[in-house]
Structures are given as C-alpha cells and as structure tokens.
Structure 1
Amino acid sequence: MQPFVYTALPARVVFGFGTAKQVAHEVARLGCSRALVLTTPQQVAAGEQVQADLGDLNVGIYSKAAMHTPLEVTLDALAQAKALDADCCVAVGGGSTIGLAKALALHSPDSAKLKIVAIPTTYAGSEATPIIGQTEIGKDGKPLKTTQKTMKVLPEVIVYDVDLTLTLSPQMTVISGLNAIAHAVEALWAVEANPIISTLAVQGIEAIARSLLLIKADSQSKDGRADALFGAWACGTCLGACHTLGGSFNMPHAETHTVILPHAVAYNAPFAADAVSRVAKALGVANAAQGLYDLSKENGAPYSLKSLGFKEEDLERAAEIAARAPYPNPAPLVKEKLLVLLRNAYEGVRPS
C-alpha cells in the first residue's frame, strides 16, 4: 500500500425514496429558520412543492438559476436573499441550481454564510463537491468560466430523493450519468488520487453503467434510478472537473462532458494506464474510450460537438484555453494535440 492523504468531506447525506419531505427537519437541524428555495425557471413547480414542505421555514423562492452560474444572476439572487433575511437556501434541481446555491454561499460574508440544503433532481454530482464554477464577462468582452475549490461552498446537507428522478428523460439520464462518470474518471488519474476515492470512483462508474441498462429497459425502474443517484453521489464526491468549453463558449455542461469524455480518456490513456484500465473494467469493456463513446451513442446521447452547436471556427481558441488550464493532467496539455482531440470530438469520431 502506497502512502496517501485523504480528506473526508463533512456533508450530511440523506438517501432514499420520498426523502424530500424531510426538508423542514433538515433545515431546522442546521439551526436555520428562513429558507430561500432556488430553482431554474423550468423547475418552479418542484420548488413550490419544497416550499410547501418547508412550511413556516420558507421565506420565498428564486427561480432564475442559469447554466454556468453567471455572476449577474448570483448577485441578483444574493440581493433577494438579503432582502428576505434568509439564513439558508434549499437548491432543488441540477447543476445550475446547486451551482447558484454554492455561489450564494461563496459571496455571502463568513459571519453570515448562507447554509445549503441540496435536493438534486439529476445526476450532475455538483452537490457533493467543494468546487464552484462561475462565469463572467472577460476583458475581451467574451464569457469566461473560472473554477475554484473551497469548503465554503460545500452543501451542509444533501437530500437524495429517488422519486424526484423518475421523470428524468432517458436521454437526459444518460447525459447526466456520463457527466457523473467523467468526474470519477478524473478522480482515478488525479495527482491526489488515493485508494478510498479510487474505490468510490469505481463503485460510481459501475453503478451508473448498471443503472443505464435498467433505465433503458424501464425508465421508471426504481432499482435503476436508485443506482444512478447513488452513482452520481459517488462520482460527485470524486470530482475535480474542467469547465473550459462550457463556460467560455456557453455550451451545455453535461452534454459537453458526455461528448468530450471518451476523447479525453483516449488522450490520457498512455499516461494513466492503470486508471483507464479500471474504467474499462468497471464498464465491462476492453477499451475504456470506445466503451464510453458507444455507451453514449447507443443510448441516444450526443456524441459530437457539432450536434451541440459548437462552431468549428472556435476549435482553435478552445485548444488554446485548454492548454493554459492550471490543473494537473496525466498527459501534457499540448495545443496541437488538444486541437486534434477537439476536432475528433467535433466530428463525433469514435476514438481509436
């Protein structure tokens, strides 16, 4: 056994069926009494149900959460939280809503930090991480997404309610699931990898791969949905993700990860053979990159950047941004090689 360092994340996890009904208990348990519910415009109905479950602990709802956590949305939500004297927020939804909750915690003063109760409705995994990505307009007038890691944004409580995921469409299920797998893959080859997180990453990949087969056969499969949600938590706990394409080019986060993942695995395979071998074994395939590509394509998920609306003329700039990324990567981040990766992803070529 090699020496390692492992830092456990101190979030409370409540997992099961119908657990969202416990939200008032969880808010009170935190010592909070003025909860602001957060949603996207599309999930107001789910947010209103949580408001009802909160009862007298609810002070309002903010329903403008947006993809890539734009700074202007965060500041608007923060103003509403202050006006309502909120002491916590309950985020109901996927990565966009939970990202907003994290941003509110980050931008609130340490002495009055907004606590977070996250109720995920997708398999994004953001709720399990101390990582936040934010988008603002750069000096060149173009959107630029930056990420940071800080325990201040880690939700205090995560309430996983399998019932809330039963209506997630089959396509969004596989997109969200592969996005979660991307987090686990990165954890397996990360510089700070350790046997505890690696074991959790493999468990997460296995659970999601297993769940996709069950959900494809029956979208209401409770076993499949429970496996997927557990896998999302396991993979999210391992997260150390890159958000270059999403924030800088306004691309959908989960869909972009789904497309890029097989090509990133192929790119890093020569420099992370053990990690990539573990991914292949967890998926039950001989070649991890090809297995991930096939899993996406065969389940109706996008497998090319072109299909997501990415512009071919932006490939060069994307390669430049990726090559400047500050995070460690198994393979050297060489612009010319990254451009090949991105072009293959743009065209939807199956990794060789």
Structure 2
Amino acid sequence: MSLRFTHETLPQRVVFGPAAEHLAAEVARLGSRPLVIGRAAADLLPGVPRYRDVVMHVPVDVAERARAFTADSDADVLVSIGGGSATGLAKAIALTTGLPIVAVPTTYAGSEATDVWGLTEDGRKTTGADRRVLPRTIVYDAGLTLSLPVRLSVASGLNAVAHCVDSMWAPRADPINQALALAGIRALSGGLPRIVSRPSDPEGREQTLYGAHLAAVAFASAGSGLHHKICHVLGGMFDLPHAQTHAVVLPYVMELNGVAVSALLAEAFGPDGLHGLRERIGAPRALRDFGFRESDIPAAVAAILAVVPPGNPVAVTAGDLTDLLRRAWAGEPTGDPR
C-alpha cells in the first residue's frame, strides 16, 4: 500500500542530562537577562529573577500579571522550571511577547515539546497552536523528578500515555507520529512500573521522561483528539486536576473508540494491555475523587459534543458521552481496550 501524507517536524533543541551542567549554557544561547517561571529547583540559576505565581490551567488574570512582571523585569529569555502549569504560564507570556523559552520539566506533562497554549477564563479553557510558544530548548534532567511523589508520577505518566493514544487518531495523525506514539507507549509502560517499585531509582524516571517526550512530539504533530477535548472541557469548566483527569478518562475513551485502534496499540502496551499497566502502577480510578459531580455531567456533555474532533474513529453522540462520563465519574471497570 502506498503512503500519502504530509508531516511537519517542529524545530527544537533537546538536551538530556543534568540541568546543573547544561542549563546556564542553554539559556546563554538565547539571551542574557533570564526570568525563571515556576517554584521548582530554586538552586538552578541562582540570583536570577523568578515569577512564582503559577496556577493550574493558566487563568487569564494570572497570565496578565505574569506578562506585566516580565515587562518590568526587562527579561529577554524565559526559563520554565516545573510541571505543565509552569510551562503553560511561560507559553502565555511568550504568546504576547515572542520571548524564547528554555523549558526544564519536573513532571511528565509534555507541554514543553508542543506549540500548544491554553488559557482559562470563566470556566472555559481555550487552546491554540502558535510557534511563538514552542520552547526553543528543553533540558531533561531525571534527577529533578525524584521529588515528584509516586502517585503524582503515575498520574503525570498516564497523561503522557494519553498523548500517545490521542496521536493515533487525532485530526493530523500520520505514520510518523504514530510510530513516535507507539515508541512512547513502550517507554512509558517500562518506566512507570519502575518508578512505583523503586521511586529513588533515576533510571525508571529517565525512561519515563524519554517516553513523555516522544508522546509530546507525536501529539504536537497529530493534534488534539477526542480524549484531550474531553479533558480540556473537564479541566476548564470544573477546575479538575490536569494529570489525574487524563489518567481516569483514558481507558473509557479507548473503549469507546474500541477496535479502531486495538491492533495498533496491542503490541506497544504488551500482553497485559493498558488495564494491566494501570493495575501495576495504581492508577487513579474515578473523577468523583477529584471533585467532579454526577450533576455536572449534562453540562460537560454539551460542551464536549461541540468540540468532538473530525476523523474520530467512531461517531460520538450525546448518549455516548453521557455514558462515558458517568462511568468515569463512578470509576466503573472497562473492558481491556487493547
């Protein structure tokens, strides 16, 4: 069968290694007046101004305050150190200023490898893509993830798995990002159980970081699929925690899309499938554990139905979404979505 597709690779420098050895030089390649965004790793870049008011889902008012602080500091390069919220805030600043970003992730969120930004206002999360927000350089240091508790590591890692899965059926999915996604699943399926069994072992965390990067690169190319549309609505409307929401919702979306992707994903997840991985690492199970109420389901369904992406493997109805969210709210078992 002949191949017919168009693929675009985002330009980005990626450094795997200790941030203490690499970060200062990477920042100096892009500017001389850095501003650190985030609360993590205060010993990196000592003496550099730091903006600490980082909030999940990047509320618009938080972004506006950060932009004003950046202007007052006369920064010419942003350094985000932390999870997806820190990276997201740096992106919000770059969106209006054009300042380059050096990203130093301390979780497995993956935002550092995408040109996607997100802002929340009045219970609605708006996302977009813009090359100005793509970090110019990423410094991956597994040592900086050692302080991330196991439960948060699991949720964050499953968020990365969701990037892989969405990349199999998203609007711009192609063979290249599907190959990256499958490699990402293999790395994450190997790394996450090692974090759970040996939390202080940096090798498991390094493998998970590598998988999270592959996942994010695939996602940046393929675009946002059904899973992320659902989770963006839930996060924006109900202020649910980002990684945990993704971790809970993923198996229900996979079950809904069912046989359309099962053959492609079975080998990557291995004989135990996603269900077995979730069991081994103690995945979050129910949206109600994170503040989502059963009475919220109708409003969520209406908002999600309006943004269901084209090209999803199966048609999606309001009834499908109602059933999916009710089961995810309760934490009901799914079939093995391999």
Q: Which residue of 2 aligns with 1:159?
A: 139
Q: Any conservation in 2 of the 1:68–1:134 contact (CA below 8 Å)?
A: yes
What is the deviation of 1:298? Answer: 4.0
Q: CA RMSD in A?
A: 1.5
One-letter amino acid of the counterpart of residue 4, structure 1: F
What is the deviation of 1:217? Answer: 2.1
Deviation per residue, 1:238-271 (Å, 9 max, x gap)? 223331111111000110000000000011124x
Q: Pick from 283, 288, 313: which aligns with 2:269?
A: 283
1:332-351, aligned counterparts within 5 Å? Answer: 332-351=315-334
Shift >6 Å, 4+ stretches: none
Tell me, in whole angstroms, the C-alpha distance in 2 between the residues paired with 1:49 and 1:327: 43
Tell me, in whole angstroms, the C-alpha distance in 2 between the residues paired with 1:251 and 1:297: 23
Tell me, in whole angstroms, the C-alpha distance in 1 between the residues paired with 2:275 and 2:324: 14
Q: Which residue of 2 aligns with 1:101?
A: 90
One-letter amino acid of the counterpart of residue 264, structure 2: R
Tell me, in whole angstroms, the C-alpha distance in 2 between the residues paired with 1:70 and 1:261: 25
1:88-237, aligned counterparts within 5 Å? Answer: 88-108=77-97, 113-137=98-122, 143-237=123-217
Q: Any conservation in 2 of the 1:74–1:104 contact (CA below 8 Å)?
A: yes
Q: Which residue of 1 aligns with 2:287?
A: 305
One-letter amino acid of the counterpart of residue 88, structure 2: G
What is the deviation of 1:295? Answer: 2.8
Q: Any conservation in 1 of the 2:286–2:331 contact (CA below 8 Å)?
A: yes
What is the deviation of 1:165? Answer: 1.1
Q: Any conservation in 2 of the 1:261–1:292 contact (CA below 8 Å)?
A: no
Q: Are 1:28 and 2:7 matched, yes or no?
A: no
Q: Any conservation in 2 of the 1:322–1:333 contact (CA below 8 Å)?
A: no
What is the deviation of 1:150? Answer: 1.5
Q: Any conservation in 2 of the 1:170–1:215 contact (CA below 8 Å)?
A: yes
Tell me, in whole angstroms, the C-alpha distance in 2 between the residues paired with 1:297 and 1:156: 37
Tell me, in whole angstroms, the C-alpha distance in 2 between the residues paired with 1:236 and 1:118: 13
- Give 5+ residue unaligned stretches, structure 1: 138-142
Q: Any conservation in 1 of the 2:193–2:281 contact (CA below 8 Å)?
A: no
Q: Which secondary structure state, in structure 2, belongs to the residue aligned with residue 285 of structure 1?
A: coil
Q: Any conservation in 2 of the 1:179–1:258 contact (CA below 8 Å)?
A: yes
Q: Are 1:316 and 2:314 matched, yes or no?
A: no
Identity %: 43
Q: Which residue of 2 aligns with 1:250?
A: 239
Q: Which secondary structure state, in structure 1, belongs to the residue aligned with residue 95 of structure 2?
A: helix
Tell me, in whole angstroms, the C-alpha distance in 2 between the residues paired with 1:326 and 1:33: 44
Q: Which secondary structure state, in structure 2, belongs to the residue aligned with residue 193 of structure 1?
A: coil
Figure out how many residues of one structure are paired with residues of the other and give that number. 324
Q: Any conservation in 2 of the 1:293–1:350 contact (CA below 8 Å)?
A: no
Q: Any conservation in 2 of the 1:258–1:296 contact (CA below 8 Å)?
A: no
Q: Any conservation in 2 of the 1:268–1:331 contact (CA below 8 Å)?
A: yes
- Give 5+ residue unaligned stretches, structure 2: none
Q: Which secondary structure state, in structure 1, belongs to the residue aligned with residue 28 of structure 2?
A: helix
Deviation per residue, 1:260-296 (Å, 9 max, x gap)? 00000011124xx2x332222211136xxxx434433
Q: Any conservation in 2 of the 1:204–1:235 contact (CA below 8 Å)?
A: yes
**TM, length-normalised to structure 1:** 0.88
Q: Are 1:61 and 2:41 matched, yes or no?
A: no
Q: Pick from 50, 67, 72: which aligns with 2:44?
A: 50
Structure 1 residues 276 and 189: CA distance shift in structure 2, 3 A: farther
**TM, length-normalised to structure 2:** 0.92
Q: Any conservation in 2 of the 1:35–1:89 contact (CA below 8 Å)?
A: yes
One-letter amino acid of the counterpart of residue 260, structure 1: V
Tell me, in whole angstroms, the C-alpha distance in 2 between the residues paired with 1:20 and 1:204: 26
Tell me, in whole angstroms, the C-alpha distance in 1 between the residues paired with 2:281 and 2:73: 44
Q: Any conservation in 2 of the 1:124–1:232 contact (CA below 8 Å)?
A: yes
